Amino acid sequence: MFFVKFVLSAFLLIASQTAVAEPLGNPSAGLRHLIFKFGGLFLLDYDRSEHLINQTDGGDSIVLDDYRNGFRLIQNETKALGIDIAFNFAIPTNVPVGLDLLAGTNVSFDRFAPTRDAASKMQKPRLPSRAPDLTDWSEGDNVLFLARGGVGFSVGADWNHVAGPAAYFFAEGDWYVYIEKYSPNHAYVKVTNSQILSLGVVGNSVVAGLGIEAFKEADQGFSFRYDLNDPTAAKAYEDAIRGNFEPSEKFADAGTFVSRAATNQTAWLGLVRYWYFGVPFLASINGNTGQIHSRTSVLNHENGNRSTIYSGLYVDHLRTGGWLSKHAMSINNFIGSRYIEKGPNGQISSGYLGQYLWAWESSKGSYRKIHKHLAALVAKTGLESLLSINIPEENKLGYLNMQFQANLPQETVDLLMEWATGFQETGADLLMQSSQKGIETYFSAGQDSLGICEASVQDIGECKARMVRETRRATRKLMLQLKAMAVTKNTDFPAFVRHFGEFGKQMATNRFTFSQILELTQKAPLEMTFSMGGERISILRKVITRSQNQLLQ
């Protein structure tokens, strides 16, 4: 089910096309669907702001001022009432466990408001550190914040060699905490670390420091569901918010009113310094560009499957604005993933897939901005049909976002690798011949109609020459990455996704390299969707079909 959801200002004021509630209501969702969630969220920089997001479905056209399905009220605060409860369950003495709201950071609340008037009357929220605090929340309401302190948890099977099965671990650092009320009496909590400062263990009454290295490849995340009708489960929820997860683990293992949602282990490597993964499928980047490589292991306790996901991500991110000005953000990302899933009976499935994501958002949308950034998207992809969207000539549209996704399933990736390896040395030249035709067609009128060249380049001849050089260079690198992917796809998964991420970077170079991939995969599946939403605009979703592709060949 598709809908646009907006949460925190980016990937914390969020515009998202993914349902955060999916791991709650549909824990057995297929891995192929799950992986595509990585790129589905983006947000403005942390700021104090308040926005209304229209939740009415507008189909595949722009509809204004239809508010039948109400709004999401996004409130980003730098100050909020903190976590104020003591532990309900005992923890080992002299263990530094406990979370406190990190001073100066953003707290993002996402709540339902049936009308504008109702939204204006909603009181400033507080962190739901006690189970009764969720009573007045609506289904789907959630909060995300950053906390600092220690988290306590029981040792899992992977750690038995360190201290034995009766040990109590504690990790100190910074943690992203996400809480959602997903049904009238149930809450979901996910805590994912941002930075581990120290790790220790209590075993046989001895407190020992393990050092950060012991936690380096066990980036533990915790997520549980709680039936708040049960007093014990409600107490376990309150302890979890404070950082003590041992009661939740014990009650979940006993099959009571607490259940595990998923546990994940993540190791991030690469050049993107400000990246985090947590909050069901929430990712954030902050003012950096590069490539990131990761390994994520997820244990799905509902069906017993264990999945290992390797991902290579290319990030191109630009943000403008500040506290006293309007905000805008654009994203040009690609993620390539390789996964292995093992079932409880030993069955194994594996595969790979990729996703290209272009996204833009602004706190003050207008007709001119929509048209400008649609043109920028066409300049990136060559998909002229996107310009056919009828845009109302309104200058005050409030918050607004747009995103475009192109999903490459395994069948399509196989076709690309087969083509690249089949042509060996001549493949890049063949692709460039097609791109050269597209470049000639684009500049045939002696102008740069969509502004694909830098503003500083005034001479059309130089603009064209630069585009030829840029496209030729990217085409050669693209072919090299596809060949390397073919060699490593079954032998070296980290290397495979690293090459996959680099392939995506080259594919996203310009409209001509993007069109190369569209042309090569005409006989293979390639799902492309465009979406738009905002304060006055109803949710728009447009599927871009092959017949709509106006490739510049």
The DSSP result for 93-139, as a single string, is TT---EEEEPTT--EEEEEEESSHHHHHHPPPP----SGGGGTTPPT
Least confident of 265-269, 326-330, 453-457, 475-479: 265-269
Residue 77 has pLDDT above 60, yes or no: yes
Residue 243 has pLDDT above 80, yes or no: yes
Kindly report the number of other CB atoms within 10 A of residue 483's CB atom.
Answer: 17
Kindly report the number of other CB atoms within 10 A of residue 93's CB atom.
Answer: 8
Least confident of 244-248, 477-481, 503-507: 244-248
Query: pLDDT band for position 483 (50/70/90)?
Result: very high
Q: What is the predicted pLDDT for the residue at 519?
A: 87
Q: What is the predicted pLDDT for the residue at 286?
A: 40
DSSP 8-state code for residue 89: S
The stretch 196-222 carries a mean pLDDT of 45
Query: pLDDT band for position 485 (50/70/90)?
Result: very high
Query: pLDDT band for position 245 (50/70/90)?
Result: confident
Q: What is the predicted pLDDT for the residue at 495?
A: 92
Tens of pLDDT, residues 534-547: 999 999 988 886 54
Q: What is the predicted pLDDT for the residue at 106?
A: 66
Query: pLDDT band for position 102 (50/70/90)?
Result: low
Looking at per-residue pLDDT, the higher value among 347 and 322 belongs to 347
Q: Give dist(CA 512, CA 41) in Å, integer.
A: 27
Q: What is the predicted pLDDT for the residue at 214?
A: 39
- CA-based nearest residue to 528, from 397, 418, 377, 425: 377
Q: CA–CA distance from 289 to each of 192, 317, 354, 506 (Å)?
A: 23, 6, 19, 14
Q: What is the predicted pLDDT for the residue at 424?
A: 62
